[in-house]
Amino acid sequence: MVNLGLLGDVSTGKTSILRLFVRYLNKGEIEKVKGGKKCTVVKTDFSGEATIPKGGGTEKETKTIHPNRVVFRETESKRAHTIFAPGGDRERAVVKMGIITISRIATQIIAVFSCDKELAPQFEFFNDVRFFPEKIFVCINKFDLLEGNKEKKIEEMKKKITTFFKERKIGVIEFFITCGEIVDGFADVETYNNAVAEMILNITTTQ
């Protein structure tokens, strides 16, 4: 059984990734992706999500206060796995407590970064996380929002992320490029939505 933690700065898309994965499970789409297999939802808990009042200076509608959680089971092997997605607003004590708790209990970690913001402020989030495995996975999310030469920019991001973690003696096992939301007007949306399901299955079911 894998305890997977999705950690990253505020609004990088951790909750969206978790919700999209649940959608794949509920719609049976999980069998159709690369490395797909039959799995079912055991339990979901998104009660840690708080609504942000409109006009709060952000387009975001909700924000994670207490960690979100999804338990799912592989039908054939009957193995169950839990995915945790705490909030990213570490300035709030209760959110920070969730981050620290999940970083302690997770057996695998995905560090989630977003393409629509500079990396420097997103790195600051990880300076606060004290319990880290020696090797982690990295998800570069919101690929649809990357402008210009996407391929070149992704390579640059990968280099910077690898260097950042290497300086902290943490190795990156693998990078995943994803789109955590079903966005309109992005031609490759299905490929990068699928990448979310493929990432989670790869980390949980092949261990």
Ligand X SMILES: Nc1nc2c(ncn2[C@@H]2O[C@H](COP(=O)(O)OP(=O)(O)OP(=O)(O)O)[C@@H](O)[C@H]2O)c(=O)[nH]1
- Residues near ligand X (CB under 6 A) are 10-16, 60, 63-64, 87-89, 141-142, 144-145, 179-181, 183
Q: Is 12 in the site for Mg ion (CB under 5 A)?
A: no
The item of ligand X, Mg ion, none sharing an interface with residue 194, based on CB under 5 to 8 Å by kind, is: none
* Residue 43, number of CB atoms within 10 A of its CB: 11
| E strand spans, 105-186 | 108-114, 135-141, 171-177
| Alpha-carbon 182 to chain mean position | 15
Nearer to ligand X, 10 or 106 (CB): 10
Read off the DSSP letter of residue 31: G
Q: Are 69 and 98 in contact (CB under 8 A)?
A: no
Select the residue whose beta carbon is closest to ligand X and give its number: 88
State the virtual CA torsion across 146, 147, 148, 150 in degrees, nearest 10.
Answer: 10
What minimum distance in Å lies between the beta carbon of 14 and Mg ion? 5
What minimum distance in Å lies between the beta carbon of 68 and Mg ion? 6
What minimum distance in Å lies between the beta carbon of 103 and ligand X? 14
The item of Mg ion, ligand X, none sharing an interface with residue 73, based on CB under 5 to 8 Å by kind, is: none
Reading the block at residue 185, the tokens are 């007007």
Contact stretch for Mg ion (CB under 5 A) within 57-65, 106-114, 147-155, 161-169: 57-65
What minimum distance in Å lies between the beta carbon of 202 and Mg ion? 22
Nearer to ligand X, 16 or 73 (CB): 16
Handedness of CA 2, 206, 114, 48 (dihedral sign): negative
Residue 50 φ/ψ, nearest 5 degrees: -115, 140
**Which chain residues interact with Mg ion by CB under 5 A?**
14-15, 64
